[in-house]
Amino acid sequence: MAEGLKVLSTFPFSLNSQMALRQAAQADVVCVTSSDELRDRLRETEILCSERIPDDWRGLAPHLRWLQVAGAGVDNLQPTGILSPESGVVITTAIGINASTIGEYVIGSMLMFNRTWPEMVRLQERHIWPLSANWYKLGGRELGEQTIGIIGLGHIGRRVAQLAAAFGMRVLATRHSTRSGDTAPDVDRLYPLSQLHELLHQCDYVVLAVPLTPETELLIGEAELRAMQPHTYLVNIARGRIIDEQALIRALREGWIGGAGLDVAAEEPLPADSPLYSMPNVILTPHISGVSVHYEQRLATLFADNLQRYRSGQALRNLYNPARGY
């Protein structure tokens, strides 16, 4: 059992959560609020909970043994070298704790597109009451009996599949480890990524829920967008670089697809001159699909469990796999 742990967090845990974490660690858990304070305290730190770490962490944190990432994605840590197996630091992620939140976001985005909700809000702001939906091309699509393609059947993808099935949708999905004949709950058919175009062509809605890895970067380019149908609605809650953004802009302008719900962008913040802001068939949000009033408690529960596992020498949950990149 490890004694005298030095635990540091840049995540602003509540006082109640800090108490639970201290009990799990059997040690003090220090929460810092600035980069300078983080750098000052890293020298004695053995365990860090954070979404970021200085590039020169090796010199600053000679005793660091475990990084609990406060989010699901780790691509922002790639330049630091801490994800390398040679770093000597165990990496765990918070993957899965926001699956319900993002699942609801995906369904909400699809419903907003179906009902042309952004346009109706703009009409309300202008004090306009259309006498007919046809006057402003207000939509009336339904989710039932439509086909959704989920690219990436991880925690989030499985939750989206569950919700989509509840709406009576036909659910197709890709999964990294899919083999012929594999099945999954709430999924009508599983596809390997090698059959991505076959899946895309069937879909009324496509949801991107894969991590950003060398395999998935620019996964959706011109060929994939053209494989979709002219009414297909594409939702990206993964990472902006999963899509060739310039090809997407062209696809939206020229009607290769019907629209897009984008919570992420290739460059964040999205530049003010991006045409995506003014496109009527785009619903934009600033990378907040995972934001929830329950996030802090769920992260604290996961971290506390892992702290207990660390102290007792058990396997940690959500271990990062360098071979897969997530």
Burial of 69 (0-12, 13-18, 19+ CB in 10 A): buried
8 A C-beta contact, residue 197 and residue 141: no
Q: Which of 155, 175, 239, 245 is catalytic?
A: 239
Count of Cβ atoms closer than 10 Å to residue 295 Cβ: 17
DSSP 270: P
For the question of residue 215 being annotated catalytic, the response is no
287 is a catalytic site residue: yes
By CB atoms closer than 10 A (0-12, 13-18, 19+), residue 41 is middle
One-letter amino acid at 164 equals A
151, 196 in Cβ contact below 8 A? yes
The catalytic position among 141, 241, 287, 311 is: 287
Q: Which of 253, 267, 268, 294 is catalytic?
A: 268
CA-based nearest residue to 31, from 48, 12, 45, 47: 12
Our answer to whether residue 239 is catalytic in this structure is yes
Q: Give SS3 for 9.
A: strand
> Are 122 and 145 spatial neighbours (Cβ–Cβ below 8 Å)?
no
Phi first, then psi: give them for residue 178, nearest 5 degrees: -65, 135
**Tokens representing residue 101 in the block:** 């939140």
**Residues designated as active site:** 239, 268, 287
